Structure formats: C-alpha cells, structure tokens
Amino acid sequence: MSENKYKSEVEAIDDFVKRYDILKQEIGKVIVGQDEVIKSVLISIFSRGHCLLVGVPGLAKTLLINTLADALGLSFNRIQFTPDLMPSDIIGSEILDETKNFKFIKGPLFANIILADEINRTPPKTQSALLEAMQEKTVTAAGNHYKLDNPFFVLATQNPIEQEGTYPLPEAQLDRFMFNIWVDYPKYAEELAIVKATTTDSDIQLNKVMTADEIIFFQNLIRKLPVAENVLEYAVKLVSSTRPGNEFSPEIVNNYLSCGAGPRASQYLIVGAKCHAALNGKYSPDIDDVKAVATPILRHRIVRNYKAEADGYSIEKIIEALL
C-alpha cells in the first residue's frame, strides 16, 4: 500500500484508530472478553514483536489467534510442540524429486502468523530453530537461507501448571518475546456468554479489516512517531532500575531481584508505547503509554530471588513498585 492514500501521517494514524476499533469488533464476534489480552497481542503485531501467552488450557488462546489471522487476512499455521518434534519438522526439509534433484519443501513456519502451542514441551534444539526464525526472519536448511513471509508474528503458549516433562525456555530465549501475557479465567458473565455462544449451531463470518501490505505500512508508520526526551529517559531509567546494584535501583530491587532486564526491554518499551499511543489516537507517546505496556514487557525479563518468594513478593508487585 502506498503512502499516497493518506495526505499526512496524522490522517494515517486517525485511520489506524478506526481500523483498530473495527478489528476489535470483528474479534468480539468470536472471542468473549479477554480485552486486555487482545489489545496486547495487537500491540505486539503492530510493533513487530512476538508474544508468549501463559494460561491454563481451554481459555481460547488458539481460537484468538485463528480469529485474528482471519480478520487480518493473513496466513496462519499452528504447530503443536511435542518432545519428539525436530527442527526440520517446523522449518521444512529437502527431498529428492522425480528428476533426482533436491527440492526444499517448506515447513509450517512459512506463514504470517504462527501459533507455537506449548513451546516448553519441545527440546532446546527445536526451540532454538523457532527462536532463530523469530529474530532473523529467515531459516537455514541444508546451507541455504530462506526468507519468511512478511509480516511474521509468533505467538507461543505455555501451560503454567504441568511442569513434568517440560523444557523451560532459558532467560536469553524468553528475552526475544516482546510480551509475556497472562491469560486468566473469564469472569462469570463472560463465561455465561461463552457457553451461550458456543453451544448453538452458528456460523460466524468475519470481515477482513486489513491486508498484509497495510499492516506493514502501519508497522512502519508507528516506528516513525516522535518520542519526547523525558519519555525516553523514563523508559531507560525504568529498565535500569530493575538491575540489582544499579545507581537507579531502589531497595526492593536490591533485596528481591537476582537479575534485571536488558536493553531489549528499553527498546520494546518505546516501540510498545508508540503503538499504545497510536491506538489511542495520540501522535506521540507519553509516560502513561510506557507504564501501560511495562508489566507484560518486564514480567519475563526480571528474576526474583528466594527471599522474594519467601516474603510473598510477586513479579507484578515488584514492577508496580517501580512504576
């Protein structure tokens, strides 16, 4: 999509807000509630980030991504991660065709939206293959590089309860996810609406709200938003304050954290704040926008020590004290 469609960037942002509202309405036809989760996933997509969803089974994580792919007109693949899954199962592999030449058969990773279901159930070898694809937007097979589709967005899920037979993602790999989103149980009224909607014979048709080219245009537009110096300083200070022994770190951090967030957190805070501002019709982010995206960005990047667990300090409580 060319920029000629809009007279100015202000007009483009105004249209982005309208499209976002329509997108929420389309998703709302299928998904009941989960407003914060939907908002975080959309911010992540338009910020070119990836998401890690943590929640018990049956909370519509897969349905949400399927619905999102439909409404955005993007291709979608779901990969169920299991202990015997190999890197070639997700990337693709070379086969010998009838002319005795090697031919590359693309794996499920070649789609716009990937749902990596239960990512912590597969060995590190396969996790690394996915995480390389997330970072580089390319995959390597038999010495050849293959570019992935654009836009490319990975949504990985984890089940927080059953930890037997899992391979927890190391901190360095968790850092590649922009957001760690906690999916909670629906409220009573929402669950009532879910049961009513899903136990009848109804076929819901979704309208496509955007094309892949328009998503790329809006992703680039969000990156162009100007940021005031005080907002930049606030974001970097906030991340610095999570590091024990740092000049900005308060007592709560020095006492209860063993490891703080890296520079990638500062980058994501600014990009996330830009997108949050744009979704609310603002042309530049302020400190409130940084605060709005801080918890899901910092949640998986800071590590509590034993003292925090003993004293009942959750990660969220510590982040709240820093804001």
Q: Is residue 156 part of a domain?
A: yes
Q: Which two tokens stand for residue 257?
A: 């954290």
Is there a single domain that holds both residue 280 and residue 309? yes
The total number of structural domains that make up the chain: 2
The Cβ-side half-sphere exposure at 173, using a 13 Å CA radius, reads 18
Is there a single domain that holds both residue 62 and residue 122? yes
| Whole-model pTM over 0.85 | yes
Is there a single domain that holds both residue 192 and residue 230? no
Q: List the domain range (segments joined by +) for residue 260.
A: 226-322
For the cut 50, the answer to whether the pLDDT of residue 1 exceeds it is no
- Reported as a single tens digit per residue, the pLDDT across 273-297 is 999 999 888 888 888 999 899 989 9
- Distance (Å, whole) CA 117 – CA 79: 6
The per-residue pLDDT of the chain, averaged, comes to 84
Is there a single domain that holds both residue 230 and residue 202? no
- 209 — pLDDT class (breaks 50, 70, 90): confident
In this prediction, residue 269 carries a pLDDT of: 92
For the cut 80, the answer to whether the pLDDT of residue 203 exceeds it is no
Is there a single domain that holds both residue 231 and residue 201? no
Q: Which of these three, 164, 179, 213, is where a domain ends? A: 213
Q: Is residue 218 part of a domain?
A: no
Q: Is residue 221 part of a domain?
A: no
Is there a single domain that holds both residue 81 and residue 197? yes
Is there a single domain that holds both residue 31 and residue 173? yes
- Distance (Å, whole) CA 113 – CA 70: 10
- 270 — pLDDT class (breaks 50, 70, 90): very high
Q: What CATH number has the domain bearing residue 234?
A: 1.10.8.80
Q: Is residue 220 part of a domain?
A: no
What is each CA distance from 60 to 55, 115, 278, in whole angstroms?
A: 10, 12, 27
More confident residue, 103 or 164: 103
- Reported as a single tens digit per residue, the pLDDT across 109-165 is 888 888 888 888 888 888 888 888 888 888 887 777 888 888 888 888 887 766 666
Q: What CATH number has the domain bearing residue 25?
A: 3.40.50.300
For the cut 80, the answer to whether the pLDDT of residue 177 exceeds it is yes
